Amino acid sequence: MQQTMNALVEFVVPEAKVEAAATRRLIRTLDRFLPGPQPLSATAATILNETAERMKPGAKRGKSASAFANLSRAEKAKVFEALEALPVEVAGSIRFLVGNLPDLTAFLAYSTPAGRRLAHYAGVAHGRKELKGYWQGRKAADGGA
């Protein structure tokens, strides 16, 4: 599971400096989101790995114990393509989970200190010297109709 989530982070934001923290946050987020007998991160990893193996038999034989992690970037994209093609009527919850994985990963990666540096973000602050005034000098709109 850890390796699959790590591979997902690397797929979305390939940056060594964010990987560890983003993977940790991703697992924590998924597992808190929907508690159950099986952690949601494990369910997500299973879905990605099973789809990877179905698409590329033998994918689990490789550097990683995760079939998804062993795929090339193009093959990983195909995993998402296959999952997004599942009919909503039978796989709605999977569509929801898988659909949110890339954007959740990106959110978490760019929320880390290393992610913020990647974006050259000035950092959180209580205020900014950024006031430019008012458009056409108007500080109030005209009244009602």
Partner 1 sequence: MRDVIVVGAGAGGPVVAKELAERGLDVLLLEAGPAWEHSEREWSHHEDEANNPATGIFRFGPGDRTQAPWARDLPQNCFVWQTAGVGGSTVHYFGNSPRAMPGAFAGYEGADASAYDTTAVASFTYRELIPYYEWVEHTLPVQTAAMGTKEEQFLRAAAKLGLPTQTSKDISGPAFRPQENAILQPQGTAGRTNKAKQLVYPRAKGCTFCGHCPQGCFLPLASPRNLRAKRSTHTSYVPMALTADRWTRGKAVTLVADAFAVRIETADGKARGITWRNTRTGTTTTEEAKVVVLAAGPIETPRLWLNSGLPNPNDQVGRGLTDHYLDFVVGRLPHYTGSSKGPTSAARVDYPGRGCLEQAGVSPGLQAQGVTDSDAGIRGFYDNGLPGGRLIGAPLKRFLSDVDRLIGIAVITDDDVAPENRVTLSTTMAPDVHGPVARVELRHRSARTLANREFLASRAVELARAAGAREVLRVNWAPVLLHMHSTMRMGGVLTNEAESRSVERLFVADNSSLPNALGGPNPTLTTQALATRTAEKIFVRYFGGDPWVGRESPVSSVDDTVTQAVLAAGL
Chain residues that interact with partner 1, rule: CB under 8 A: 11-15, 25, 28-30, 32-35, 73-74, 77-78, 80-81, 84-85, 88, 92-93, 95-96, 98-100, 102-112, 115-116, 118-122, 124-136, 138-145
Q: CA-based angle 82:84:86, to the nearest 5? A: 75
Q: Shortest Cβ distance from residue 25 to partner 1 (Å)?
A: 6
Q: Shortest Cβ distance from residue 46 to partner 1 (Å)?
A: 19
Question: What is the residue-wise DSSP string for 26-85?
Answer: HHHHHHHHS-SSS-HHHHHHHHHHHHHHHHSTTTTSSSSS-TTTTS-HHHHHHHHHHHHT
Nearer of residues 63 and 120 to partner 1, judged by Cβ: 120
- Cα–Cα distance, 29 to 21 (Å, whole number): 12
Nearer of residues 38 and 61 to partner 1, judged by Cβ: 38
Q: Shortest Cβ distance from residue 5 to partner 1 (Å)?
A: 14
Nearer of residues 38 and 81 to partner 1, judged by Cβ: 81
Q: Shortest Cβ distance from residue 13 to partner 1 (Å)?
A: 7
Q: Cβ(106)–Cβ(13) under 8 Å?
A: yes
Amino acid at 32: R
Kindly give, in sequence order, each residue whose CB lies less than 8 Å from that of residue 23, ignoring residues fewer than 6 positions away: 2, 5, 6, 9
Nearer of residues 62 and 96 to partner 1, judged by Cβ: 96
Nearer of residues 46 and 100 to partner 1, judged by Cβ: 100
